[in-house]
């Protein structure tokens, strides 16, 4: 429960441990704790220790896409995470325009060059762990070989690094080809290539690797197998989880269960204006301008989606449970709209309605702390951006799992957090983000980023 600016956490049946909201570091929140054990080392959240995630699978099975998405999610939780993609190291060391024969695991000279790139990535990952990093994602195609997986285990286990393999499996030809066209042909390796020639080259790269692929079948290992994660694929989608234990580790599995690469669009819109003078507790309705925006919105969205060949005319709509949020969606078909409590704006607490000068005068010490760390700091009886981000986690998971287009109508603070997550921005960027009124932000997730377009609603 929250009393003024203090949070109390249950420690045992007889004790509630007060946490000072300023002196408690980020990693404390959400961590299990007992009086008999010291708090975890900063950067080692949830007592999970150091973890190496190793994607496994043939090319075009979604390994790199999954790695980037998982990294973004873990960073959102506050876990220090980095991806070490061997392809990036290979391009830096040996260039991008290489023949498909370079990727033949049976070619000793080519294999030695790939080993050099792999070793450079591995050493960088160990350095990251030494500096307090918690999760390293080691993305190498050579992990299709059992001997390479065993080599990683033998090197990391003595260092107390838990290794979890994530194997992505798909044998549906049209899904594999769709994955190649959507994802792989946009790689730096194929910049300037004719699409059909690039497709043929990459398919040959897949076929070269296939004879060396040994699926994971050792039940003593910690692994997750993701079956048929592909574009427009619902055929046999399922996940196998083996010997994966721990709070953070199981949250990773939950995230993977929601992950897909089907094309979709996410729209963000700041809710319409409410009547003036209302405070946070009042839950004020829209004013005349807000209602005018709400009336324009369905036809504007329908025309935009027709222009961009998106169907149906109305996407799914998520609003908060506050009046000005769900009233902005009042002219859409009711069956399209869902109100979600985690999308309620950040609670301003004691500083509601105060100018910067007034806050500085009344709370000089709090103001100084806020300027130093605007993402994590809480004013009295308020929430921080960090609190808001954690509150929104299950909405993030729902958005990741949603295969239909979604429009989110919410307060600026909520959209700042969502925009930062979808655009993979750092926590320091969130408080400074500007979300303009009467502007629809269209975000299209892609393999190597997110495409953004903004539309003014006039």
Q: Dump pLDDT digits (tens) for 347-404.
A: 999 998 899 999 999 999 999 999 999 999 999 999 999 999 989 999 999 999 898 9
Do 64 and 139 form a contact (C-beta atoms < 8 A)?
Answer: yes
Distance of alpha carbon 237 from alpha carbon 216, whole angstroms: 18
Angle 347-353-355 from CA coordinates, rounded to 5°: 115
Whether this prediction's pTM lies above 0.85 is answered by no
Burial of 216 (0-12, 13-18, 19+ CB in 10 A): buried
Evaluate if residue 76 carries a pLDDT over 90. no
Instruction: Give percent above pLDDT 70 in the chain.
Output: 88
Same topology for domains 50-258 and 266-347+383-456, yes or no? Answer: yes
What is the model's pLDDT at position 190? 85
CATH 3.40.50.1240 for the 266-347+383-456 domain, yes or no? yes
Instruction: Give percent above pLDDT 90 in the chain.
Output: 65
What is the model's pLDDT at position 231? 55
Angstrom CA distances, 413 to 260, 392, 431, 435, 443, stand at 27, 11, 8, 9, 18
Segment 211-227 mean pLDDT:
95
Instruction: Give the residue extent of every domain in the chain.
Output: 50-258, 266-347+383-456
What would be the CATH architecture of the domain defined by 50-258? Answer: 3-Layer(aba) Sandwich (3.40)
């Amino acid at each position: 429960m929250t009393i003024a600016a203090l949070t109390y956490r249950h420690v045992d049946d007889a004790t509630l441990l007060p946490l000072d909201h300023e002196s408690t570091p980020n990693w404390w929140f959400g961590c299990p704790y007992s009086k008999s054990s010291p708090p975890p080392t900063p950067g080692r959240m949830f007592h999970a220790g150091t973890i190496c995630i190793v994607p496994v699978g043939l090319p075009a099975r979604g390994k790199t896409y999954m790695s980037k998405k998982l990294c973004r999610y873990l960073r959102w939780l506050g876990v220090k995470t980095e991806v070490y993609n061997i392809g990036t190291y290979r391009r830096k060391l040996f260039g991008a325009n290489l023949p498909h024969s370079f990727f033949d695991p049976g070619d000793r000279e080519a294999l030695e060059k790939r080993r050099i790139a792999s070793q450079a990535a591995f050493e960088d990952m160990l350095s990251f762990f030494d500096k307090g990093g918690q999760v390293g994602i080691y993305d190498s195609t050579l992990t299709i070989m059992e001997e390479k997986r065993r080599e990683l285990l033998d090197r990391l286990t003595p260092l107390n690094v838990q290794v979890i393999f994530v194997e992505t499996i798909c044998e549906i030809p049209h899904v594999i080809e769709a994955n190649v066209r959507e994802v792989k042909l946009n790689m730096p390796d194929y910049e300037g290539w004719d699409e059909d020639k690039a497709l043929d080259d990459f398919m040959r790269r897949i076929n070269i690797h296939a004879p060396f692929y040994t699926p994971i079948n050792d039940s003593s290992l910690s692994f997750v197998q993701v079956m048929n994660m592909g574009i427009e694929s619902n055929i046999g989608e399922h996940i196998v989880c083996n010997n994966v234990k721990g709070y953070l580790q199981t949250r990773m599995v939950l995230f993977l269960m929601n992950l897909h690469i089907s094309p979709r669009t996410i729209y963000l819109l700041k809710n319409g204006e409410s009547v003036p003078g209302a405070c946070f507790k009042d839950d004020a309705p829209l004013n005349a301008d807000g209602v005018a925006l709400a009336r324009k919105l369905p036809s504007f969205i329908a025309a935009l989606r027709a222009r961009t060949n998106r169907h149906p005319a109305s996407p799914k709509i998520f609003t908060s449970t506050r009046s000005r949020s769900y009233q902005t969606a009042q002219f859409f078909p009711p069956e399209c709209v869902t109100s979600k409590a985690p999308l309620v704006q950040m609670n301003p607490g004691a500083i509601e309605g105060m100018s910067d000068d007034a806050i500085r005068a009344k709370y000089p010490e709090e103001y100084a702390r806020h300027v130093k760390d605007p993402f994590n700091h809480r004013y009295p009886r308020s929430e921080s951006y960090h609190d808001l981000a954690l509150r929104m986690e299950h909405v993030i998971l729902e958005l990741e799992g949603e295969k239909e287009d979604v429009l989110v109508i919410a307060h600026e603070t909520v959209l700042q957090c969502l925009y930062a997550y979808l655009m993979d921005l750092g926590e320091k960027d969130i408080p400074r983000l500007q979300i303009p009124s009467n502007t629809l932000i269209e975000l299209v997730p892609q393999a190597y980023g997110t495409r953004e377009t903004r539309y003014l609603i006039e």
